[in-house]
């Protein structure tokens, strides 16, 4: 039995994560759950939204299924972490739980499959691609400073090491899943050094995978092509900031953030979570759509080699979506979270 750290999170988190866990159990996958408290309730009951024991649980198990956590806007909100790391006392602070988890656990690549499902309204019906976003560097880390009151600057740092490990993860993923092509998105025509290095390092890794075609696009042209002919893309390799933007653009091609799963993967652990937030407006009402967390669970099962269970869940979900009888309101149905879950469990 493989143990998974389960983080229900805030808002609709407990409902949608509960749904995913029930479905994973019903699939017969050989996993068991270790539930931990993170977010607003943890802050109230344990004095911190992200207890060090949670990081230890994920490190021990190597796997986490996470619900959304709420991050207050503005102010000086920080998450403080104190723990032993490598035999030494370690202190750090972060602007959100998501960033704290990513950094503390060394989750260097964000993986976002983007695919059409029947019954999920979207402008396209033939999208099936996977985005690999470098997660640890680039402008996105927010290394900024004020030069004077009217001038600010940010440092864009790209390293060969971080780019290569993300690229290698991506190519391995394509190889394992039988995909044929990787497209590197960049702005190397203008940012010749930083994006130039990203492109070069990606192309160097591509040479290790002669069976997978590799091409490249300037990021603006890539965005246009994604909107015009998304079916022509298979794998996309992107640096952190472009990856952040293009991931949401791509989710919009197949029905939006509400149905998009994701994974953050590192050397030692991997964390799977929906892309949407905690949706406080609908929390506790049994109307949230659990599909994104269910699909994140499918990704997790594939990650640990539980491919049969993953395939069964994907097929059961696809059937329930196609029938349109037991789907949630955002998908045009009238079913609640629980009824949607029960319908998938019944198919399993
Ligand atoms: P949100 O994704 O929570 O909600 C946006 C809209 O989509 C709302 O109308 C909501 O009801 C709807 N929605 C979201 N997920 C849904 C689902 N599964 N089924 C049906 N409807 C759904 O984004 P928002 O309002 O910007 O953020 C709320 C909180 O979530 C914030 O505190 C934010 O920091 C946090 N958040 C956390 C994330 C994470 O933990 N990974 C990611 C994004 C936001």
Structure confidence at residue 314 as a pLDDT band (50, 70, 90): very high
CA–centroid distance, residue 186 to ligand 1 (Å): 29
pLDDT given at position 61: 98
Whether 1-120+257-348 shares its CATH topology with 123-253 is answered: yes
Please check the confidence at residue 344 and state whether its pLDDT lies above 80. yes
pLDDT given at position 325: 95
Phi, psi of 73 (to 5 degrees): -80, 150
CB under 8 Å to 229, separation ≥6 — which residues?
none
CB 335 within 8 A of CB 13: no
Nearest to 181 by CA among 128, 134, 141, 135: 128
CB under 8 Å to 9, separation ≥6 — which residues?
17, 38, 39, 66, 67, 68, 69, 278
pLDDT given at position 74: 66
pLDDT given at position 99: 83
Please check the confidence at residue 142 and state whether its pLDDT lies above 90. no
Residue from 50, 276, 286 whose mutation best tests the ligand 1 pocket (most atoms within 8 A of CB): 276
Q: Please tell me the CATH superfamily of domain 123-253, with its number.
A: Isopropylmalate Dehydrogenase (3.40.718.10)
| pLDDT > 90: percent of the chain | 88
Residue nearest to atom 6 of ligand 1 (CA): 279
CA dist 275 and 260 (Å) reads 6
DSSP result, 121-133: --S-S--EEEEEE
Closest-lying ligand 1 atom to the alpha carbon of residue 9: 40
> Tokens representing 342?
């029960």
pLDDT given at position 299: 96
Model pLDDT for residues 271-303, shown as the tens digit of each residue: 999 989 999 999 999 999 999 999 999 999 999
Residue nearest to atom 21 of ligand 1 (CA): 288
CA–centroid distance, residue 261 to ligand 1 (Å): 13
Please check the confidence at residue 94 and state whether its pLDDT lies above 90. no
Structure confidence at residue 135 as a pLDDT band (50, 70, 90): very high
| Ligand 1 pocket residues where CB is under 6 Å | 12, 16, 68-71, 98, 258, 273, 276-282, 288-289, 292, 330
pTM for the predicted model, two decimal places:
0.93
Other CB atoms closer than 10 Å to residue 231's CB: what's the count?
A: 13
CATH number of 1-120+257-348: 3.40.718.10
CA–centroid distance, residue 215 to ligand 1 (Å): 34
Model pLDDT for residues 50-93, shown as the tens digit of each residue: 999 999 999 999 999 999 998 777 667 888 998 888 789 989 98
> Tokens representing 51?
């207890």
CA dist 214 and 201 (Å) reads 12
Domain boundaries, the chain: 1-120+257-348, 123-253
Q: How far apart are the first and last CA of the chain?
A: 20
* Active-site residue set: 140, 187, 220, 244, 248
Residue nearest to atom 4 of ligand 1 (CA): 279
CA–centroid distance, residue 244 to ligand 1 (Å): 16
> Comparing 199 with 97, which gets the higher pLDDT?
199
Phi, psi of 142 (to 5 degrees): 70, 40
Largest separation between any pair of C-alpha atoms in the chain = 62
Structure confidence at residue 110 as a pLDDT band (50, 70, 90): very high
How far, CA to CA in Å, does 65 sit from each of 95, 171, 184, 232?
21, 24, 29, 31
């Amino acid at each position: 039995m493989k143990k998974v750290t389960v983080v229900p999170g805030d808002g609709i988190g407990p409902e949608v994560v509960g749904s995913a866990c029930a479905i994973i159990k019903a699939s017969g996958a050989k996993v068991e759950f270790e539930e931990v408290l993170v977010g607003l309730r943890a802050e109230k009951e344990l004095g911190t939204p992200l207890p060090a024991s949670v990081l230890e649980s994920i490190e021990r198990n190597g796997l986490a299924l996470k619900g959304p956590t709420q991050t207050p806007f503005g102010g000086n909100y920080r998450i403080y972490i104190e723990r032993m790391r490598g035999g030494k006392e370690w202190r750090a602070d972060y602007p959100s739980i998501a960033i704290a988890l990513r950094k503390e656990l060394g989750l260097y690549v964000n993986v976002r499959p983007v695919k059409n499902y029947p019954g999920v309204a979207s402008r396209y019906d033939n999208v099936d691609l996977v985005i690999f976003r470098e997660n640890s560097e680039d402008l996105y880390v927010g290394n900024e400073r004020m030069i004077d009151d009217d001038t600010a600057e940010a440092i864009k740092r790209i390293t060969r090491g971080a780019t290569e490990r993300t690229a290698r993860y991506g190519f391995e993923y394509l190889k394992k899943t039988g995909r044929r092509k990787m497209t590197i998105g960049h702005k190397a025509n203008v940012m010749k050094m930083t994006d130039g290095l990203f492109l070069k390092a990606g192309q160097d890794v591509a040479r290790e995978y002669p069976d997978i075609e590799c091409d490249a696009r300037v990021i603006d042209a890539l965005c246009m092509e994604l909107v015009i002919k998304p079916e022509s893309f298979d794998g996309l390799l992107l640096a952190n900031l472009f990856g952040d933007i293009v991931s949401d653009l791509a989710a919009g091609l197949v029905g939006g953030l509400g149905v998009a799963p994701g994974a953050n993967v590192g050397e030692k652990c991997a964390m799977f979570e929906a892309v949407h937030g905690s949706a406080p407006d609908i929390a506790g009402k049994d109307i949230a759509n659990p599909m994104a967390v269910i699909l994140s669970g499918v990704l997790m099962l594939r990650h640990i080699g539980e491919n049969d269970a993953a395939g069964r869940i994907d097929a059961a979900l696809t059937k329930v979506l196609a029938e349109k009888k037991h789907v949630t309101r955002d998908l045009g149905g009238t079913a609640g979270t629980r009824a949607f879950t029960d319908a998938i469990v019944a198919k399993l």
